[in-house]
Structure 1
Amino acid sequence: MTTARDDRAAGTLLGLACGDALGRPVEFRSPASIESTHGRLDEMVGHGTHDQPAGTVTDDTDMMLCIARSLAERGEFDGEDVAERFVGWYESGPFDIGIMTGQSIRAFRDGVAWDEAGRQVWEASAEGSNAGNGSVMRCVPHALAFGDDPDELVAVSRESSAITHADPRCTWGCALVNLVVASLLDGAEPMDALDAGLDRVRDEAPAELVTAAEAVPTMAPDDLQNSGYVVTTVQAGFFHGLRADTAADAIVEAVAMGGDADTIGAVAGAVAGARFGASALPEDWLDAVDVTEECRDLAGDLLALRDS
């Protein structure tokens, strides 16, 4: 029997994939450009940015699946195994990959330890290019596997982020997203989930991240930013994922922001999926995304780890 928590767990991974796929063809475009071409973009379309068929996912979903597969197969967080899976994915020639992600994966491939490669890249990166959203886009499998232990969830989320993104804004951004998702999986009300996550990280996380998340309940849509900066991505993901009336609205409105549309859509989708469940996602979206069944299977495997 599929329980409400099963549905929300599958929704977390599938919401991420749907947000990624809906946003992929309009990545880097302005909201006005998206509207003039598509109106309200609420169906999977092909071509556009990266010139891929409708429903094609990007590095956001690919890397999330690397983590989910590792957790499911190893039965625990194994950072070296995750890093090796990232290398295998990188060497497959993906059409989209972030700068720090690529640099960190190459460093690991060339012999730097999995828990040092991302730190070395971060330390060599200038402010403004050192805190991207390339780890928060992929982090939610940990919320499914470790959601019953907030301390372990925070530790694992931060270690996993640092494989490629070691800046504290990134590592704590992943921890905060996962804490909120874990609460939603257990049926918490949206703002209660946000408050609980903030209560856990407030004394340790960077103040800029905390302040951005604290603003979510009362901020206006025009205050959101669509860049690849991790702090604004987390804020936009929470804004849409926690405040929208439906899962589809959360994803559509996140993607309509343009800019880093696939990743903002992915984070909002993961949060909304954990809130509303896979059953609330449009069937035509799920049919278009070719990883739907694997996401459902992995969600069940990850919940089994939590319950073991």
Structure 2
Amino acid sequence: MDSNRVLGVLLGLSCGDALGRPVEFESAEQIKAEHGRLDQMIGYGTWNQPAGTTTDDTEQALCIARSLVEQGEFDPTDVADRFVAWYDSGPFDIGGMTRRSLTRLSRGSTWEEAGQEVWEASSEGMNAGNGSVMRCPPLAIPYADDWGALVEVSRQSSQITHADPRCTWGCAVLNLTIAGLLDDADAPLEEALDYVDSDAPDELTDALAPISRGESIDSLETSGYVVHSLQTALHDALYEETLEDAIVTSVNRGGDTDTIGAIAGAVAGARFGVAQLPDHWLSAIDEVDELHSLSEQLISIV
């Protein structure tokens, strides 16, 4: 397995997260008026944090990666415990479904129950956010060569907080796409969709199928809805010409910039490798050294 691409997954995710964090919730027009084309790590803005600060996207991905390394496999109970400990640390950014699920976990629900209970209590439009797809890419590394297991662990990792099938299967499709890229697949998204076939919700697969075929999309949405986030991030990650362009393009679309940037960064990182990330981005991110170490250890699990 190419260590350059593996590291690209983890650092691409964190760079997309950090670049998008200060303009989260702004429109494309607002970003353009304030920054032109945002391609530098800037401070403050949304969440009022220093340049290079990552959010819950990277922090939860780290929880999964650390657990994989320490347990030697995906252990959903251990990951859930790490999520709760992270939540108890008082993060400045956390999604609504994640917060409600982790609250239930802290009160005694099991990982199988917490996300399911929150999903069943949530109305349509509030029940299929992107909070699990943004953190799941570390799973694609140790399970890259076992697609059956990768689908299972990806869906379980989502179930902890996001039990909607669009979320659980969204994690599976995203990680299969990353695994395909790590294996030099010619059509990674198309192969991922073929693998999940009719098991995944039509709403998800119908939105991603045109991208898998290289068709143009009239409008790409940037909301926190999991289908929108995956459609936009995969479009930019698979069709921009460099890793940097994939992240910059996705972030400058506005909306849920940190998460769409993180997803695009993880996928494009698997496509191009870490060498395409600008040094001035990496030097701004505190987690870079740990992500280097984790990537090496995740490869050793394989």
Normalization by structure 1: what TM-score? Answer: 0.96
Task: State the distance in 1 between where 2:55 and 2:157 align.
Answer: 19
In structure 2, what is the equivalent of residue 135 of structure 1?
132
How many Å apart are 1:152 and its aligned residue?
0.3
Query: For residues 25-36 of structure 1, what are the structure 2 equivalents within 5 Å?
Result: 25-36=22-33
Whether 2:199 is the aligned partner of 1:204: answer yes
Select which of 12, 15, 27 maps to 2:9.
12
In structure 2, what is the equivalent of residue 37 of structure 1?
34
In structure 1, what is the equivalent of residue 209 of structure 2?
214
Task: State the distance in 1 between where 2:225 and 2:208 align.
Answer: 14
Deviation track 1:11-41 (CA, whole Å, cap 9, x = no partner) reads 0010000000000000000000000000010
How many Å apart are 1:188 and its aligned residue?
2.2
Structure 1 outlier segments of 4+, above 6 Å: none
Task: State the distance in 1 between where 2:9 and 2:219 align.
Answer: 26
Deviation track 1:227-258 (CA, whole Å, cap 9, x = no partner) reads 00000111111101000000000000000111
User: Could you tell me which amino acid in structure 1 is paired with residue 192 of structure 2?
Assistant: G
Task: State the distance in 2 between where 1:199 and 1:299 align.
Answer: 28
In structure 2, what is the equivalent of residue 153 of structure 1?
150
User: Could you tell me which amino acid in structure 2 is paired with residue 160 of structure 1?
Assistant: S
Task: State the distance in 1 between where 2:290 and 2:301 align.
Answer: 17
Task: State the distance in 1 between where 2:247 and 2:134 align.
Answer: 14
Task: State the distance in 1 between where 2:101 and 2:126 align.
Answer: 14
Deviation track 1:101-122 (CA, whole Å, cap 9, x = no partner) reads 0000010110011111000000
How many Å apart are 1:219 and its aligned residue?
2.1
Select which of 106, 111, 120 maps to 1:109.
106
Select which of 271, 277, 284 maps to 2:280.
284
Task: State the distance in 2 between where 1:182 and 1:293 align.
Answer: 23
How many Å apart are 1:270 and its aligned residue?
0.4
How many Å apart are 1:303 and its aligned residue?
1.5
User: Could you tell me which amino acid in structure 2 is paired with residue 208 of structure 1?
Assistant: E
In structure 1, what is the equivalent of residue 49 of structure 2?
52
Structure 1: tracts of 5 or more residues without a match: none
How many Å apart are 1:138 and its aligned residue?
0.2
In structure 1, what is the equivalent of residue 243 of structure 2?
247
Deviation track 1:98-144 (CA, whole Å, cap 9, x = no partner) reads 00000000101100111110000000000000000000000001100
Structure 2: tracts of 5 or more residues without a match: none
Whether 2:92 is the aligned partner of 1:95: answer yes
In structure 2, what is the equivalent of residue 260 of structure 1?
256
Task: State the distance in 2 between where 1:116 and 1:303 align.
Answer: 31
**What's the RMSD between the two structures over aligned residues?**
0.8
Secondary structure, aligned partner of 1:187? coil
Query: How many residues of Structure 1 are paired with residues of Structure 2 in the alignment?
Result: 300
How many Å apart are 1:301 and its aligned residue?
1.1
Task: State the distance in 1 between where 2:180 and 2:225 align.
Answer: 25
How many Å apart are 1:90 and its aligned residue?
0.4
Task: State the distance in 2 between where 1:202 and 1:39 align.
Answer: 41
User: Could you tell me which amino acid in structure 2 is paired with residue 233 of structure 1?
Assistant: S
User: Could you tell me which amino acid in structure 1 is paired with residue 153 of structure 2?
Assistant: V
Work out the percentage of aligned pairs sharing the same amino acid.
57
Task: State the distance in 2 between where 1:202 and 1:151 align.
Answer: 13
Task: State the distance in 2 between where 1:161 and 1:219 align.
Answer: 29
How many Å apart are 1:223 and its aligned residue?
1.0
Task: State the distance in 1 between where 2:204 and 2:197 align.
Answer: 9
In structure 2, what is the equivalent of residue 79 of structure 1?
76
Task: State the distance in 1 between where 2:118 and 2:5 align.
Answer: 35
Task: State the distance in 2 between where 1:213 and 1:289 align.
Answer: 31
Secondary structure, aligned partner of 2:90? coil
